[in-house]
Chain A
Amino acid sequence: NAGVTQTPKFRILKIGQSMTLQCTQDMNHNYMYWYRQDPGMGLKLIYYSVGAGITDKGEVPNGYNVSRSTTEDFPLRLELAAPSQTSVYFCASSYEPQHFGDGTRLSIL
Chain B
Amino acid sequence: GQNIDQPTEMTATEGAIVQINCTYQTSGFNGLFWYQQHAGEAPTFLSYNVLDGLEEKGRFSSFLSRSKGYSYLLLKELQMKDSASYLCAVVEGKLSFGAGTTVTVRA
Q: Describe B's contact surface by its main secondary structure.
A: strand
Contact between B31 and A102 (Cβ–Cβ < 8 Å)? Answer: no
Q: Which residues of B contact A (CB under 8 A)?
A: 1, 4, 31, 33, 35, 41-45, 48, 87, 89, 91, 94-100
A interface residues, Cβ below 8 angstroms from B: 33, 35, 40-45, 48, 58-59, 90, 95-103
Q: Are A43 and B97 in contact, with the CB atoms below 8 A?
A: yes
For chains A and B in complex, what number of residue pairs have CB atoms within 8 angstroms? 47
B48's partner among A42, A45, A59, A96 (CB-CB below 8 A) is: A96
Say whether A45 contacts B96, CB under 8 Å.
yes
> Among the listed B31, B42, B91, which residue makes an inter-chain contact with A100, where contact means beta carbons less than 8 Å apart?
B42
Contact of A97 among B42, B48, B94 (CB under 8 A): B48
Nearest-neighbor residue (CB-CB) of B9 within chain A: A40
Q: Can you list the 8 inter-chain pairs with the closest CB atoms, starting with the nearest?
A: A97-B45, A100-B42, A42-B97, A42-B99, A43-B97, A42-B100, A42-B98, A100-B43
* Across-interface contacts of A103 in B (CB, < 8 A): 41-42
Bound form: Cα–Cα A109–B43 in Å: 27
Also in contact, A58 and B94, with CB within 8 A (given A42-B87, A101-B42): yes
